[in-house]
Structure 1
Amino acid sequence: MPKVGMKAIRQAQLINATLTVIDRVGLAEASIAVIAKEAGVSTGIVSHYFGDKNGLLDACMRQILTDLYLAVERHRFQAEDTPQAQIRAIIDGNFDLTQVAAPVLKTWLVFWTNSLHQKNLQRLQRVNDRRLHSNITAQFARVLPREQARQAGSSLAALVDGLWLRMTLAPQPMAHGLEDARELCYQNLALWLNTPVR
C-alpha cells in the first residue's frame, strides 16, 4: 500500500527531473526512460502518474505557471497600491528567481513551441497571455483612457515576452541581464505614465 502523500512527492520529483533533462538534452531527447532514470524511478511510475511525455510536459508547465502566479501575487502584495507600483510588481514577478533558472527558461521555450501544435498547451498559453495582459491593462486603466490602457498593456506584455525569449536564447546565464530586462520594462512603463524611471 502506497504511503500517504507519495503521489505528490513522486509527481514533484518527476517534474523536477523533466526540467533538468530538458535543460540538459532538449525535449526531443528527453524520453520517458531518460527522465525516469534522472528521477531514480521506473518508467512505469512515469506512465502511472502522467500517461506519456505530453502529460508530463503539461504537468511541468502547470507547475511553472503556478509558480509564476504565486511570484506575481507575492510581489504585488508587497507593493504599494498605485498603478506604477503594481505594474512594477507584475514585472518583478515575471522575472522572479523562480522563473529565471536555466531549466525553467528552457522549458518555457519548449512550451511556447509545442503550444503551436498541442491544444492543451495552447489553452495554458492563452490563459497565461490573458492573465499578464489583463493584469497590466487593469492597472494602466486606473490612470489612462481605456484604449490607451489597452495599448499600454499590449506593449508592456509584448516587451516582457520578448525579453524572456532573449534570455532563453542567450548563450550565458543572464545575471546582470535580468536587471537589464526589468529596467527596460520599467522604462516602458514610465513612458506610458509619463513619469521618471525610479
Structure 2
Amino acid sequence: MPKIGMKAIRQAQLINATLTVIDRVGLANASLALIAKEAGVSTGIVSHYFGDKNGLLEACMMQILSDLYTALRQQRRKAGPGAEDQVRAIIDGNFDVSQIAAPVLKTWLVFWAESLYQPNLNRLQRINDRRLYSNLAAQYRRALPIRQAREAASSMAALLDGLWLRLTLAPQPMEQGLEQARMLCYKNLALWLNSAPTP
C-alpha cells in the first residue's frame, strides 16, 4: 500500500529532476531514463505519474507558472494600491527569484518553443499571455484612456518577454542583467504614465 502523500513527493521530485536534466542536456536529450536516474527512481515511476515526456514537461510548466503566480500575488500584496505601484509589482513578480534559476530559465525557453507544436503547452502559454496582458491593462486603465492602456499593456508584456529572452541567452549570469532589466521596465512604465492626458 502506498504511503500517504507519496504521490505529491514523487511528482515534485520528478519535476525537479526534469528541470535539472533539461538544464544539463536540453529537451531533445532529456530522456525518461535520464530523468528517472536523476530522481533516483525507475523509468516506470515516471511513466506512471506523467505518461510520457510531454506530460512531464507540461507538469514542469504548470509548477513554474504556479510559482510565478505566487510571486506576483506576493509582490502585489506588498505594493501600494496605486496603478504605478501595482505595475511595478507585476514587473518585480516576473523577475522573482523563483523564475531566475538556470533550470527554470532554460525550461521557459523549451516551453515557448514546444508550445508551437503541443496543444496542451500552447494552451498554458495562451493563458499566461492573457493573464499578464489583462493584469497590466487593468492597472494602466486606472491612469490612461482605454486605447493607451491597451497599448501600454502590450508594450510592457513584449518588453518583459524580450528581456527574459535576452537575459536567458546572455553569456553573463542572470543576476548581472536583472537590475538593468527592471530599470528598463520601470522607464517604460514612466513613459506611458507621463503620456496620460491631463484632467
Tell me the TM-score normalized by structure 2. Answer: 0.97
Aligned to 2:132: 132
What pairs with 1:155-166 in structure 2 (closer than 5 Å)? Answer: 155-166=155-166
Q: Distance in 2 between matches of 1:167 and 1:12?
A: 27
Aligned to 1:115: 115
Q: Distance in 2 between matches of 1:164 and 1:148?
A: 24
What pairs with 1:78-89 in structure 2 (closer than 5 Å)? Answer: 78-89=78-89
The two structures, once aligned, show a CA RMSD in angstroms of: 0.8
Where does structure 2 lack aligned partners over 5 or more consecutive residues?
none
Aligned length: 195
Tell me the TM-score normalized by structure 1. Answer: 0.97
Tell me how far 1:172 sits from its aligned partner: 2.6
CA displacement, residues 148-174 of structure 1 (integer Å, 9 cap, x when unaligned) = 000000000000000010111112322
Q: Distance in 1 between matches of 2:183 and 2:71?
A: 18
Q: Note if contact 2:168-2:174 (Cα within 8 Å) is conserved in structure 1.
A: no
CA displacement, residues 1-41 of structure 1 (integer Å, 9 cap, x when unaligned) = 11000000000000000000000000000000000000000
What pairs with 1:2-151 in structure 2 (closer than 5 Å)? Answer: 2-151=2-151
**What SS does the corresponding residue of 2:28 show, helix, strand or coil?**
coil
Q: Which amino acid aligns with 2:128?
A: N
Tell me how far 1:70 sits from its aligned partner: 0.4
Q: Distance in 2 between matches of 1:167 and 1:185?
A: 14
Aligned to 2:167: 167
CA displacement, residues 44-94 of structure 1 (integer Å, 9 cap, x when unaligned) = 000000000000000000000000000000000000000000000000000
Q: Distance in 1 between matches of 2:173 and 2:103?
A: 11
Q: Which moved more, 1:161-170 or 1:186-195?
A: 186-195
CA displacement, residues 123-150 of structure 1 (integer Å, 9 cap, x when unaligned) = 0000000011110110000010000000
Q: Distance in 2 between matches of 1:68 and 1:81?
A: 20
**TM superposition outliers: structure 1 runs of 4+ over 4 Å:** none
Q: Which amino acid aligns with 1:111?
A: F
Q: Distance in 2 between matches of 1:51 and 1:174?
A: 33
Q: Distance in 2 between matches of 1:186 and 1:68?
A: 19
Aligned to 1:192: 192
